[in-house]
Amino acid sequence: MRAPESRGATVPAAAATPASVTAPPSFAARATSVEGSPVREILALTQRPGVISFAGGLPAPELFDTEGLRAAYDAAFATSARRALQYSTTDGDPELRAAVAARATARGLATDADDVLITSGSQQALTLITAALVEPGDVVLVENPTYLAALQCFGLAGARVVPVPCDEEGIVPEALADLVGQERPKLLYTIPTFQNPTGRTLPAGRRAAVAEIAARMGLWLVEDDPYGDLRYEGADVPWLAAHPGAEDRTALLGSFSKIMAPGLRLGWLRAPAALRRAAVVAKQAADLHTSTVDQLAAARYFAAVDLDAHIATVRTAYRARRDALLAGLGDALPAGSSWNRPEGGMFVWARLPEFHDAAALLRAAISRQVAFVPGAPFFTGSPDPRTLRLSFSTHTPQEIAEGVSRLGAALADHGLRTG
Ligand code: PMP
């Protein structure tokens, strides 16, 4: 169906319609100013059978605890079928909120069930916080590069999105302070742990500096942490939300997608009371509440299963997948390329040598039945066309080794491989 372009265009009358018909008014400007995600379009290309894809950011389906989740749904229906099928409160199921709060407290951030709002994926938490805080024209600071659907969310709200200079460790605090002084932003959106797309983790010292800047200069912090549980080596770094100065101004976003399953569409938001209340009102307007049955099943799952043991299984598998990718990249990528070694998450970020273009390489790669995502769409402002994101979560180490060697062959086809 074509979008209506302007008011007043007439179309021929059909038998049962009035003699003349007026087209409805045009779409909101925001609906046409924000583009669909190019990554989703690339993903469609890469889902052809036989393609070894480093493009997606999907959890490995064979690691879903399908039996445990089925039992949890059974239990929700066996004990509380009517409640599971009924409308429920906007804040979320009390047992589930308590379970989330207990996990956050165990990770070093004292949290009460009342501090938590259950959301339909952490993506919705981002939308709700944006609705609560951002007016058209407000400045939102983001890491550069950053998560595409966050850029879409801020774009739809009419924000002016400004990138914060980042290096291999993430946000550079001095540069952040300068930008806050110049731009008077409403909020900083950050993924400090195993960032999407770079896999980077912001060290504790920089987290403390970011919290201090937010407190001193007056700034909301949105800490998005869907990957924090997926650590393969090194020690946990405390949440930004747990640093002095951040307590009264951080919205912490968590997700069940990477530790249970993304199809559940369950996430959560922990925020200071007034901001959480504003998010609750935004959620009432969005969807009244998150699916009752899914929340009840997740609460049953928390009660019945050792989630940490399940996460440990997932970590072991992903660690081997990350290592297989890292082991092969040295042979596949041209001399002068660089890439990082993330301590967790799902992504390795690589950079080709000067004058190389990851989008051109993708075309060669797809004809060799291997795929990745060029880094350019993740940037705000001028993109770095030499960068690419490689996700290691959905293939076995053997498939990954084969995929990396195909990537090397694609580079050779393309005349790019010099090392
Ligand atoms: N934030 C980031 C940084 C992500 O990468 C993703 C998912 N890929 C999300 C949020 C959304 O996760 P959810 O499934 O919880 O909505």
The C-alpha angle with vertex 387 and arms to 386 and 391, in degrees rounded to 5, equals: 150
Residue 14 CA, ligand 1 centroid: distance in Å? 46
Taking phi first (over 0 means left), then psi (-120 to 50 degrees means alpha), and beta for anything else, what does residue 170 get? left
pTM equals 0.93
pLDDT at 4: 43
Residue 291 exposed, middle or buried by CB count within 10 Å (0-12, 13-18, 19+): middle
Q: Would you say the CB of residue 146 lies under 6 angstroms from ligand 1?
A: no
Q: Would you say the CB of residue 337 lies under 6 angstroms from ligand 1?
A: no
Q: In what order do the strands lie in the sheet with 139-143?
A: 116-119, 267-270, 250-255, 220-224, 187-190, 139-143, 160-164
Residue 123 CA, ligand 1 centroid: distance in Å? 6
Q: How far apart are CA 362 and CA 238, in angstroms?
A: 37
pLDDT at 153: 96
Q: Would you say the CB of residue 224 lies under 6 angstroms from ligand 1?
A: yes
pLDDT at 14: 55
pLDDT at 262: 97
Over residues 280-322, the pLDDT tens digits come to 999 999 999 999 999 999 999 999 999 999 999 999 999 999 9
123 CA: nearest ligand 1 atom = 16
Q: Would you say the CB of residue 255 lies under 6 angstroms from ligand 1?
A: yes
pLDDT at 29: 85
In the chain the domains, ranked by start, together with CATH numbers, are 33-64+309-413 (3.90.1150.10), 86-304 (3.40.640.10)
- Cis check for the bond before 145: say yes or no (omega within 30 of 0): yes
State the SS3 of 336-390.
Answer: CCEECCCCECCEEEEECCCCCCHHHHHHHHHHCCEECEECHHHCCCCCCCCEEEE
pLDDT at 408: 95
Task: Kindly give, in sequence order, each residue whose CB lies less than 8 Å from that of residue 206, ignoring residues fewer than 6 positions away.
Answer: 169, 170, 171, 173
Residues of the chain with pLDDT under 50: 1-9, 417-419
